[in-house]
Structure 1
């Protein structure tokens, strides 16, 4: 005998259909798709080797050979911009994936168990939440050395409380709904109810938060590379390109510095617009 649970009809597919936005969100989505495609096909799109520098061709303006000119080391700015999209997007993606997965697990566990486990883990999350992600990443670099691995792991831990708090609050709201009680009466385990039934209902909201987190993670990692603590030369990276081309601005060739800066701003703004729009629509507010 099967029991029809009314709450299950409010699934993720029905809620995601409500996320269609206006022209601004569609423009931002198109922009994000474009950047993702560029990062995926970067080795085939870059017209030149971005790691090869010709000092004799340093700080030249846009031309048929160098569409966006070159930096002071003679590296082709356009090729470096394309190749740099890979490291600039993969790092934040790793941060968001790790922090979202761990945040969902911690949030569901604390909401389901409650009691002392909720209290202790909640206080630990408050401690982690008090430290800015960029500061935690700099500390990780000081301990483990420059690169991307240590900062990505450290920032993943720093971003995890955002998702954990959100999931815990949503899970507590869902537990009060009749369909959760119905599944419990049927004898389903807590893990089954939380993962197979509750999580799909809160998934779109978590997705909206993760989208916003991606933009902030990209900004933090770009700042880390700008400080010389993230991606190391000759690997192209947007933050490192801005740092390495500061002298070019003073010498009248600002493209090698301003173009990656504009790319960072565009991606961060696009992710924030998409994430905020998703959040507003899930909350029932028109954007």
Structure 2
């Protein structure tokens, strides 16, 4: 019986090894690897201090001293772009990690307990679904002040229901499989079965959903910074760069606004392509 159980629980690993990817997915994966490396080594890659502004060099076009020119405050756009990748990585990563961890816990508990527990948790998730993540983040800023901490916590709560609902549905499907009954017959506890055996089986699908969530979280946090409610100057941030460079666009130097906007779009699209492709392949649908 143990051999049969091992064979049943080995399926996710085999599915993951079978994952390939077309040229678009591989290109997006390469782009995301570069994005992470740039964010990790931004302080060493930036040619200038992005927080230092030379008013005498404001709105300078691309040149030898400034690869992408400067904004109206004289900040080097290329250096600010590299440094801004750090907040664009850390913020969404914190949202995804917290929302995924809590969503997995809530989803597994709801599916395993069932009955009135499942009903109550389901209604609570419905209430959370009614509030967009960006709106919840704005409310958090209104209560706790501007910055990154409050919006990240608020958006983590807003994103949690997506993972919780997914995990609950997958867990209910897995509970009907023979290996769960086999472990129950062997006397294993529900916690052991859910965490050590059931969770690894649904983990790849949850990973695909979390990848998509990362892109949306990045977009929401960039929008919050664009509104002036997220990352505050002088810390570089892509959303804040777009907001601060609106006047530069009108004065004929749009790069300081266009470049971070393009960076946001490319990263969000890359995460969505990778996440959707991963989800399709795990579900057995060729892309």
Shorter-chain TM range is: over 0.9
In the TM superposition, 1:53-202 aligns within 5 A as 53-202=53-202
CA deviation profile, 1:154-197 (whole Å, cap 9, x unmatched): 00000000000000000000000000000000000001000000
Tell me the distance in 1 between the aligned counterparts of 2:197 and 2:152.
Answer: 31
Q: Secondary structure at the match of 2:188?
A: coil
Q: Secondary structure at the match of 2:252?
A: coil
CA deviation profile, 1:214-247 (whole Å, cap 9, x unmatched): 0000000000000000000000000000000000
Mark the runs of 5 or more structure 1 residues left unpaired by the alignment: none
Give the deviation of 1:3 after TM superposition: 5.0
1:258 maps to: 258
2:32 maps to: 32
2:9 maps to: 8
Equivalences, count:
286
2:271 maps to: 271
In the TM superposition, 1:208-287 aligns within 5 A as 208-287=208-287
Superposed CA RMSD in Å reads 0.9
Tell me the distance in 1 between the aligned counterparts of 2:103 and 2:9.
Answer: 23
Give the deviation of 1:8 after TM superposition: 1.7
Tell me the distance in 2 between the aligned counterparts of 1:237 and 1:78.
Answer: 12
Q: 1:171 to 1:231 in 2, by over 3 A?
A: same
Tell me the distance in 1 between the aligned counterparts of 2:211 and 2:18.
Answer: 17
Give the deviation of 1:17 after TM superposition: 1.4
Q: 1:2 to 1:275 in 2, by over 3 A?
A: closer
CA deviation profile, 1:49-96 (whole Å, cap 9, x unmatched): 000000000000001010000000000000000000001110000000
Q: Secondary structure at the match of 2:4?
A: coil
CA deviation profile, 1:81-130 (whole Å, cap 9, x unmatched): 00000011100000000000000000000000000100001100000011
Q: Secondary structure at the match of 1:48?
A: coil
Q: TM-score, normalised by structure 2?
A: 0.98
Q: Secondary structure at the match of 1:231?
A: coil
Tell me the distance in 2 between the aligned counterparts of 1:165 and 1:18.
Answer: 26
Q: TM-score, normalised by structure 1?
A: 0.98
2:203 maps to: 203
Tell me the distance in 2 between the aligned counterparts of 1:249 and 1:150.
Answer: 31
Give the deviation of 1:7 after TM superposition: 1.5
Tell me the distance in 2 between the aligned counterparts of 1:283 and 1:38.
Answer: 32
